[in-house]
Structure 1
Amino acid sequence: MTRIAVIGAGFGGIAVAHLLRRAGFGDVTVYERGDDVGGVWRDNTYPGCACDIPAPLYSYSFALNPDWSQRFPPHDEILGYLRRCTDAFGLRPQLRLGTAVDSAQWTGTAWRLTLAGGTCAEYDVIVAATGQLSRPVVPRIPGAGAFTGIVAHTARWPADLDVTGKSIGVIGTGASAIQLVPALADRAARITVFQRSAPWTLPKPNRRYGRVRRALNRRVPPLMRAARAGTLLLTWVTGRAVTGRPIARRFVRAVSAGQRYVQAGRLRPHVTPDYAMGCKRVLFTSGWYRALRRSNVTLSTADIRQLTAATVLTADGAEHHCDVLVYATGFAATEFLIPMAVTGRDGRRLEDEWKDGAYAHLGITVPGFPNLFLMYGPNTNTGNTSVVYFLEAQARYIVQAVRAVAESGPLEVREDVAAAFDAEMQRRLAGSVWTGCTNWYRTATGRIVTNWPGMASEYRARTARLTPSDFVRP
């Protein structure tokens, strides 16, 4: 029997574990360092946290949810959905919660995992589903150690934090900040938002799903599939804009400019981006600009120079008092699998293999590392549609690969195949919109290691069938 370890129990880990078991692989163990399933939806509990991809597409195609309360569901509903899927798929007995994997070493015939605490376990196959958005980034700011107020990162929000009547500083204007600030504005005495660059935004066309809609979803499941197809079509338009189609880009830019014109008022010059649309993640919001215009909210566009015991000092000489300082500064998305140490064939270390930037054939396999498969690996992030769509494609591909392992032994992608794929990715990405600004898609040297350069449909097609000639038997 093929022994399989899945590392991580977010959307990717749950999907691949379920599809592997459905394909007949019964010996699947899922290791999760947290105390529950959910990945980013377990970790991100900040006020206002919600999905910014429409619910019909932000769910598994094999487990559509008829009970979403709205088009862009809040955090609790998504986490609840993942918990229900875990139960419905019968994965609870396979879970090892609160168990981090410190290292993985290929022995020549199997993978030896060393778990936190020092115990070891061996598996024929490992699937790393640790994701790209699991390690929060906190910028180094002079004087940070002197600040005596409450400090939080949006991905590590304190459950007992009461912001009522407090002065709050929010560093960052990305996806979490534009949800957090409107959610806090009614309760905080004052909020200062520290902006390094203005985000591109689009209106968030949210709507409630009433009892009639939910009842119809349950009784007529094809309605959910129709909604999913329609949502996918809409993301095709934004995908065309991001990947450089002039007509689509002009249309989406016009919608964004119209939103700022109507909602930003006197702040419009300060919230208009100075880089190409799509270079950073385009954000969906209905409340961001209105929140910034509130009398108790201040937008600071000057660089942060220093922190003191109770203030943030900016380059324009202003001192901003803060009781609470929130880092809405994202994740170390380019550092895949860290801090887990992975050693492959002939002692090859994955951190050395990726010293110039992570790469993997189809974002899934790396030469020198037999029977190691990645979920949400290098160059598989999407700038325009649901990552769940990509994760399902990867999970189905991995099922084929594991079947080949079970039938004929260890499987390793060829060096030349992986190199050719990586060269193609970097050639296509070199002319993409993502090269025009500082963003979380690129390493310090400028190499884009996170994003897929084309449309989601292309990735789905290229991973639909495993090509045996792409692999060798080590």
Structure 2
Amino acid sequence: MAEPAQNGPASERCEGPSLRVAVIGAGMAGILAAIKLQDRGIECDVFEKGDGVGGTWRENTYPGLACDVAAHWYTYSFARNPEWDSLMAAGEDIRAYFERVANDFGVTQRTRFASEVTELHYRDGGWDLECTTGYQGRYDFVIAATGVLHHPNIPRFDGLETFEGAVFHSARWNHDVELNGKRIGVIGTGSTAAQLATALVPRAERFDLFQRTAQWVLPRDNVPYTEEEKARFRKDPEALEALIRELRAKTLEGFATAVIDADSPELAAIEQICRENLDTVKDPDLRHRLTPDYRVACKRLVISSTFYDAIQQPNANLVTSPIQRIEPAGVRTADGVLHDLDVLVLATGFLVDRFIRPTRVIGRHGTDLDDVWAEGPLAYLSMSVPDFPNFFLLNGPNSPVGNFSLVEVAQHQIEYIMQLVDGICRGDYSEVSATPGALRRFETERREAARKTVWVTGCDSWYLDKDGVPASWTFSYDRFVDETAAPRMEDFETQ
């Protein structure tokens, strides 16, 4: 199993032309990009549409929010945090971690908040940038660190606007709404809904979970760290690194192999664990309604040791009849039942194909990124798009997603991008972007590899594009590490 780079190749100062870089987004990946640029002495401005750093961890504040990836693995290799209280951290603690790193490394000070970038236009060897504040600037290259989970998906429900109670998306939580003793409905059954069920069932008079599709649930106890363990991590960084290597290996040696090979023994083992977990639901009818009709991990696994207990409580109700419409008093389902509610939460996920959009991005020869991505977003190794010189994406199209550490993914990608930037610093070239041939080859291989993955075994998930092909990394994680170790310059067009 390939090991992650701790700090990537030794950082070299940019001693060539004076460069200006625009980083779009101040979430996990944007903070990382700004730090790595500063390491090389490259001037950068960070543009953030929100009022603070943290990205999805700033925007999501719902009760029960937590990361389902081990907290110690979900940190920058150069800024570990020995203070995590448990295996998987709460959302507010993760947000505080990113805020602290951004402050400590000077990223907050160079970020323009409430500044959504509206247009990027490549002209005469540079990028002209405009944002909502009226600011206009020119940059030598752009790093889009806009993430995936930031455009809420709000399905069209007939009558939604007539609901007389409080209604909001889980990523736009209204903390002014009283929840204790209320009749609460949640639409959706993904990871967010499972966390909401655990948090809200004890507080609600009645909790209705509206399920369109059952989910497989993998149990994982959120084991607390003792004060003695945290003291050891503070004193001995290598002990903490050893733990991270262990956490990483457990995930990658099992799950990473399982999802890319539907016939693997690793997937069979995960299926067995999920089925045993489902058997803890005592009522046969409820267990039947919670049983998916597709393979384990075809959709993103819900990681929870508490969801099944929550949905079995006397005040919890799993609703599987389709939603017909929303009425002033609540939700009417196709069986004719009106579910009276005080609060309705849309835990309906995100539009995961937006990436940097709705920003208008115009590349070489007036090429519009919206036109290039008309059939779906693509990028060579998830980072570079032909005809868009000096424009790079972090956690872009077809990156490894799912139950991985996206922090580690972004670190591999930024080190790769920095090596391309180093070529500009050395004066080897002034423009660099993937060739059309390289993108075609990568995409052909990626789609061929997709045929063996569990994601194409018969479910409808946010992993799949309009053609039913997973919009994800379909190779091994080891290959991702190897591919991002160093650019193959024959795959790039330079000037």
Q: TM-score range by the shorter chain?
A: over 0.9
For the pair 1:439 / 2:483, whether they are aligned, the reply is no
- Corresponding residue number in structure 1 for 2:79: 63
Alpha-carbon distance between aligned partners in 1 of 2:110 and 2:403, rounded to the nearest angstrom: 33
Alpha-carbon distance between aligned partners in 2 of 1:161 and 1:5, rounded to the nearest angstrom: 38
- Corresponding residue number in structure 2 for 1:400: 419
- Corresponding residue number in structure 2 for 1:220: 236
- Corresponding residue number in structure 1 for 2:193: 177
- Corresponding residue number in structure 1 for 2:115: 99
For the pair 1:201 / 2:217, whether they are aligned, the reply is yes
Alpha-carbon distance between aligned partners in 2 of 1:289 and 1:55, rounded to the nearest angstrom: 23
- Corresponding residue number in structure 2 for 1:293: 312
Alpha-carbon distance between aligned partners in 2 of 1:347 and 1:269, rounded to the nearest angstrom: 55
Change in CA separation of 1:20 and 1:216 when aligned onto 2, cut-off 3 Å: same
For the pair 1:252 / 2:273, whether they are aligned, the reply is no
Give the C-alpha shift of residue 273 in structure 1: 1.1
- Corresponding residue number in structure 2 for 1:240: 257
Equivalent of residue 164 in structure 2, options 115, 132, 148: 148
- 1:55-111 superposed Cα distances (whole Å, 9 cap, x missing partner): 121111111111001111101110111011112222222111111101100013100
- 1:300-348 superposed Cα distances (whole Å, 9 cap, x missing partner): 1111111111121111221111111100010000222221110000010
In the alignment, residue 287 of structure 1 is paired with which amino acid?
Answer: T
Q: Following superposition of structure 1 onto structure 2, how do residues 74-85 of structure 1 map, counting pairs within 5 Å?
A: 74-85=90-101
In structure 1, list runs of 5 or more residues that go unmatched: none
Alpha-carbon distance between aligned partners in 2 of 1:193 and 1:439, rounded to the nearest angstrom: 19
For the aligned residue pairs, the C-alpha RMSD in angstroms reads: 1.3
Give the C-alpha shift of residue 382 in structure 1: 2.3
- 1:223-271 superposed Cα distances (whole Å, 9 cap, x missing partner): 1101110011111212222222521111111111111112454321111
Which has the larger displacement, 45-54 or 203-212?
A: 203-212
- 1:133-170 superposed Cα distances (whole Å, 9 cap, x missing partner): 11000111112122121111111101222211211110
Alpha-carbon distance between aligned partners in 1 of 2:183 and 2:194, rounded to the nearest angstrom: 18
- Corresponding residue number in structure 2 for 1:421: 442
Alpha-carbon distance between aligned partners in 2 of 1:263 and 1:17, rounded to the nearest angstrom: 47
Alpha-carbon distance between aligned partners in 2 of 1:412 and 1:282, rounded to the nearest angstrom: 35
Aligned length: 472
For the pair 1:16 / 2:33, whether they are aligned, the reply is yes
- Mapped contact 1:242–1:277 kept (Cα < 8 A): no
Q: Following superposition of structure 1 onto structure 2, how do residues 347-358 of structure 1 map, counting pairs within 5 Å?
A: 347-358=366-377
- Corresponding residue number in structure 2 for 1:282: 301
In the alignment, residue 36 of structure 1 is paired with which amino acid?
Answer: G
- Mapped contact 2:69–2:403 kept (Cα < 8 A): no
- 1:433-465 superposed Cα distances (whole Å, 9 cap, x missing partner): 22221111223343432x111232221110110
- Mapped contact 1:357–1:447 kept (Cα < 8 A): no
In the alignment, residue 327 of structure 2 is paired with which amino acid?
Answer: T
Alpha-carbon distance between aligned partners in 2 of 1:264 and 1:458, rounded to the nearest angstrom: 43
- Corresponding residue number in structure 2 for 1:326: 345
Which has the larger displacement, 328-337 or 427-436?
A: 427-436
What SS does the corresponding residue of 2:208 show, helix, strand or coil? strand
For the pair 1:6 / 2:23, whether they are aligned, the reply is yes
- Mapped contact 1:108–1:345 kept (Cα < 8 A): no
Give the C-alpha shift of residue 468 in structure 1: 1.8
What SS does the corresponding residue of 2:279 show, helix, strand or coil? helix
In the alignment, residue 136 of structure 2 is paired with which amino acid?
Answer: C
Equivalent of residue 162 in structure 1, options 146, 153, 178: 178
What SS does the corresponding residue of 1:253 show, helix, strand or coil? helix
- Corresponding residue number in structure 2 for 1:454: 475
- Corresponding residue number in structure 1 for 2:8: none
In the alignment, residue 412 of structure 1 is paired with which amino acid?
Answer: S
For the pair 1:123 / 2:139, whether they are aligned, the reply is yes
- 1:98-128 superposed Cα distances (whole Å, 9 cap, x missing partner): 1110110001310011110333111001000
Give the C-alpha shift of residue 278 in structure 1: 1.2
Give the C-alpha shift of residue 472 in structure 1: 1.5
Alpha-carbon distance between aligned partners in 2 of 1:192 and 1:17, rounded to the nearest angstrom: 43
- Mapped contact 1:130–1:337 kept (Cα < 8 A): yes
What SS does the corresponding residue of 2:280 show, helix, strand or coil? helix
Give the C-alpha shift of residue 383 in structure 1: 2.9
In structure 2, list runs of 5 or more residues that go unmatched: 1-17
Alpha-carbon distance between aligned partners in 1 of 2:137 and 2:251, rounded to the nearest angstrom: 42
- Corresponding residue number in structure 2 for 1:269: 288
Alpha-carbon distance between aligned partners in 2 of 1:230 and 1:458, rounded to the nearest angstrom: 20
- Corresponding residue number in structure 2 for 1:305: 324
TM-score normalised according to structure 1 size: 0.97
Alpha-carbon distance between aligned partners in 1 of 2:282 and 2:419, rounded to the nearest angstrom: 50
- Corresponding residue number in structure 2 for 1:139: 155
- Corresponding residue number in structure 2 for 1:111: 127
Alpha-carbon distance between aligned partners in 2 of 1:211 and 1:336, rounded to the nearest angstrom: 40
Alpha-carbon distance between aligned partners in 1 of 2:269 and 2:282, rounded to the nearest angstrom: 20
In the alignment, residue 95 of structure 1 is paired with which amino acid?
Answer: T
- 1:391-440 superposed Cα distances (whole Å, 9 cap, x missing partner): 11111011111112232211121111111111111221244222221111
What SS does the corresponding residue of 2:184 show, helix, strand or coil? strand
Give the C-alpha shift of residue 177 in structure 1: 0.5
- 1:360-382 superposed Cα distances (whole Å, 9 cap, x missing partner): 00000000100000011010032
- Mapped contact 1:44–1:154 kept (Cα < 8 A): yes
Equivalent of residue 64 in structure 2, options 44, 48, 62: 48
Give the C-alpha shift of residue 34 in structure 1: 0.7
- Mapped contact 1:103–1:115 kept (Cα < 8 A): yes
Alpha-carbon distance between aligned partners in 2 of 1:37 and 1:86, rounded to the nearest angstrom: 8
- 1:3-29 superposed Cα distances (whole Å, 9 cap, x missing partner): 00100011111111111211232x111
TM-score normalised according to structure 2 size: 0.93
Alpha-carbon distance between aligned partners in 1 of 2:314 and 2:243, rounded to the nearest angstrom: 40
Alpha-carbon distance between aligned partners in 2 of 1:346 and 1:92, rounded to the nearest angstrom: 35
- Mapped contact 2:271–2:296 kept (Cα < 8 A): yes
The percent identity for this pair of structures is: 37
- Mapped contact 2:260–2:452 kept (Cα < 8 A): no
Which has the larger displacement, 389-398 or 90-99?
A: 90-99
Give the C-alpha shift of residue 203 in structure 1: 0.9
Give the C-alpha shift of residue 217 in structure 1: 0.3
